[in-house]
Structure 1
């Protein structure tokens, strides 16, 4: 008769939690070979070592228990190759997803560092690339509370939550900006990045010349900074070329310290006769 081992001894030999072995017994993956009719104690034999070792190996490959059970229902090399190939494909999908998440984390860290170590209240002229936005066109009062509008945008676009952190912005129409009316947004959007999964209609924002300014504060404090940008537009002989873009780089989702909120304003501009009316 093969030597018998208790659940505790088996768990210690294979480095597996005793609760896990009991669960494997419960679902029929590996049941004890012998149960003492008097004590109810369950025992495993050396003949079951190979099965448990295979289970442990496959679990180390993150193989689902359902696939492991399927293998033991039809145990042969072909079945093993099939479940390994399936698992390989699933691992590749997970790997691509982890790379996408790592990219997002790196981007957020870079954006936060840039926002925290920037020069505030200074107008800068920059060349920005083409951008794609998932946008909700709607009239929104320029208040601190954009959460309801963000939820509407999230529902409409069916974008995942990870795509919203640090990338949500609002726009004021060019007509209102030119009229010095800064108390109403015409849209709310999220900037789409490489790797973002989005099947809806994206709005293309052409790249080009922008005057930008960053300040410590929220959207409700933007008026004075818009005025500063508009003054600079006039001084430089530029004209507005589209709606404003307004993004809160640091907000209540990141800190309770309102003095550390950072908002960036962007005004697309063109020179003299190059002016091309948009929106």
Structure 2
């Protein structure tokens, strides 16, 4: 048998934790000296200690740990719980990182206030384009809402067009439309040269020509697009235009290094 200090060292926990587990009946010592009160543990009890620590570190309360252990959870079930918890933690980390990137982008917008280079904005006509597209709804224009929608859409439309053996004729693009309930319809598109019709697991449609669009080039990941869009907004207002419903993002260059991405932002405008 092992003293409480020895057992704590072998189990990689603190003596204080073992005493607490004893007090709440979660892990009793194998023996307690009636005269000294010294606790002694057996090596076999390490198995229960391992389960207690593993389940607790998954985020369960000690009462929940007790209930789980009383059901005699096996190693395979514990592995399943770990996999689920890992997925939850990774999702939370991803969301936190996205939120942090959004804050950093807002700070860059604040830093560039008054120094926006609106000379980069170009007015142009947009030709009609036939596209294969997939669409989905995002809760809002917030990057945390749009990003998780548009990225899988592009991956899926690329895969479907490739399976269909259809030739892509130009750079991919996305466009968005505000719904009455405040949500946003997100459309991921690839230019193609086939006629609309049935037989595909995606929509083929013609995007109309645009008489006047205010455009600007954005360099870098789309998480950082805020300052570029705001530069475009200042130009539109300062030059006597108003934005119409159509806004497009054209992917001009999208290598693996997101810092090297290049997009053209296009907003249909009309004179005020």
Please report the TM-score for the alignment, with normalisation by the length of structure 1.
0.43
TM-score norm. by structure 2 comes to 0.44
